[in-house]
Chains A and B, each alone.
Chain A
Amino acid sequence: MSKTITIIGSGISSLTTAILTLKEGHKVTILEQHSVPGGFLHCFKRFGVRFETGAHYIGALDEGLPFHKLLNYLGVYHEDDYIALDPENTDEYNIENGIYSYCKGYEKNISKITEMFPEFGDEISTYFGEIKNSAVSFPTYYFKEESDQSVMLKYLKMSLHDFLISLKIPKELYDLLIAPCILHGVSPKDLSFGIHSILIDSILVSAHGFRHGGQLLAKRLVDRIEELGGEVLLRKEVVDLEVTDDGKDIKAINCKDGSRYESDLFISGIHPKHVFDMVGKENLKKSFSSRLGKMKESSAFIGAYIILKDSLGINPLRNYYFAPKGVPPYFHAEEIRREDQFFFMTSPQRDIQRRDKFPITIHASCAGETFSGWDLETLKRNDKEYNALKEELFVPIFDQLDKRFPGFKDNIEKVCYSSPLTNIRYNPTPNGSAYGIYHSFENTGARAIGPRSHFHNMYLTGQNTLFPGLLGASVSGLRTAGHIVGIKRILRELEQL
């Protein structure tokens, strides 16, 4: 029977869920607070250049691979929208022991790393072999209708750290293998090997960037939703969720502009802490509310959006990561320290390098309390202290980049910054994190919150219910839709693509 569904937020997970439920004949309305759709897919223009707010990486996108299949299934895949990263060097990690690069393909990485650690060839092969075995065991990654859950559970329960320790490898090799943790922001001791394996596999098999920005994917998803009869309403900031008298269901959603939306089902694609704040603590089970309150947040982020006068040899088809003091022991907001700062640099123009413009984007971790002196309500654009702090935080980052790319600082032509408050404003998260809830063991797998909620007609989706990144978020959308329309058939159809 056709149901009406209201979805809060228009990130990739919400848009995925919308298409999959619309395909089954449900009626879908998406409410987005911002003036553009897409969540972290959205871009902004500065200095005549389009910058990404979050999306910088698309894994598993070659033909026949999971993200390629999923985007095709959603009806939004266009080959020209994406560009493959440099197969010889997709990701460069600058960590305390030196520079390590990852490239395309399992075998190539195994032989490259074995050349560096010739005595540990077997261990390196074992590591990558287990990454593959683990990744293919997830039915919602390498889509399979039927699968042996026990294999997946084995990998989900093992930590990356424990696995690497069992290999008895030297610290330098350990550091190289954990370096990609900078990408998802979870420390190896807190991280499930299973989750890590999906991320590593997706990168090794096929790493891409957006040719025309994440906003084009958002547009294609919205167009598809409208084609299927759904609607995406912009500037609809949800401020309140009404609960039925018996406390078991959500009755309606109220927006800041006074509009009210009733429906059979409600899906939240925004941060769970934010949406349940709007439901009201008095309407939540105490046990759930206190659990939610205890969930740690991932690190907050600051950003710099820069135009360089010269390319300085920076490859726009490569991502550069820096953890000068090594991959930090803690990534979550409460414990990350200023001196443990890590950051990454990407190019917002992957292939169209204008002769006179060389744009780059830097996102860096930021200790939780750094911007606690300001709030969105009172912050003014010309606040001198606020702006000075943003600049100050980038001084050591620019020093570091100057070492890697001599002349970096002198070549900065234009720069503007974002703070965690920017993230709070555009993608409401409690502390301005980009990755939401800290995806440790406590908060992933069977311990994750969602897709079901304690309200019978309310579901959750998004990175907070599964894992960060475009793939994690879109698969979370698939899982949420699966709870409503049945996941087996979706997986069967994806498997057959």
Chain B
Amino acid sequence: MVQEELISKINVTLSEEFELPIEKLTSEAHLVDDLGLDSLDAVDMLVHIEDELGMKLDVEKVQHARTLGDIYKLIGEVSSDSN
């Protein structure tokens, strides 16, 4: 799956699960300040993304992510590793 497809899939999942408007889901969006997600949400988010994409992410790295772009990057790394 190319990066754009992955991002689009993640955005649909996050929009549905966290009830966030899809237009707010950009690389620059700050998880806490812009999307209102806290550290507990980070684990919920990780579980939903893993479920949707069928891949395993590093919990600590997800918890340290600041922006949605950081999350996209993590997924890109895992995805290219598994390819």
Which residues of chain A have a CB within 8 Å of any CB of chain B? 153, 285-288, 290-291, 294, 442, 445-447, 452-454
Contact = CB atoms under 8 A, between A and B. Distances in A.
B40 A442 contact: no
Contacts of B44: 285, 287-288, 291
B60 A153 contact: yes
Dominant secondary structure of chain A at its interface with chain B:
helix
Nearest to B45: A287
Contacts of B45: 287
A381 to B, nearest CB: 42
15 contacts: A285-B18, A287-B18, A287-B41, A287-B44, A287-B48, A288-B44, A290-B17, A291-B47, A294-B47, A445-B59, A446-B59, A446-B63, A447-B43, A447-B46, A453-B40
B81 interface: no
Interface residues of B, number: 16
Contact of B17 (A153, A286, A442, A447): A286
Interface of B: 17-19, 40-41, 43-48, 50-51, 59-60, 63
Given A291-B48, A454-B41, 16 more contacts: A153-B60, A286-B17, A287-B18, A287-B48, A288-B40, A288-B44, A290-B17, A290-B48, A291-B47, A294-B47, A442-B47, A446-B43, A446-B60, A446-B63, A447-B46, A453-B40
Contacts of A294: 47, 51
B80 to A, nearest CB: 20
Given A446-B43, A447-B46, A287 B17 contact: yes
Contacts of A452: 40
A290 B44 CA distance: 9
A287 B37 CA distance: 11
Contacts of A287: 17-18, 41, 44-45, 48
A315 to B, nearest CB: 43
Contacts of A288: 40, 44
Contacts of B60: 153, 446
Nearest to B50: A442
A447 B40 contact: no
Contacts of B40: 288, 452-454
A453 B40 CA distance: 8
A118 to B, nearest CB: 38
B24 to A, nearest CB: 15
Nearest to B62: A446
B31 to A, nearest CB: 13
A7 B48 CA distance: 30
A373 to B, nearest CB: 31
Contacts of B17: 286-287, 290
A442 B46 CA distance: 10
Contacts of B41: 285, 287, 454
Nearest to B13: A287
Contacts of B47: 291, 294, 442, 447
A150 to B, nearest CB: 10
Nearest to B56: A441
Contacts of A442: 47, 50
Nearest to A290: B17
Contacts of B46: 447
Contacts of A291: 44, 47-48
A453 B41 CA distance: 10
Contacts of A453: 40
B59 A447 contact: yes
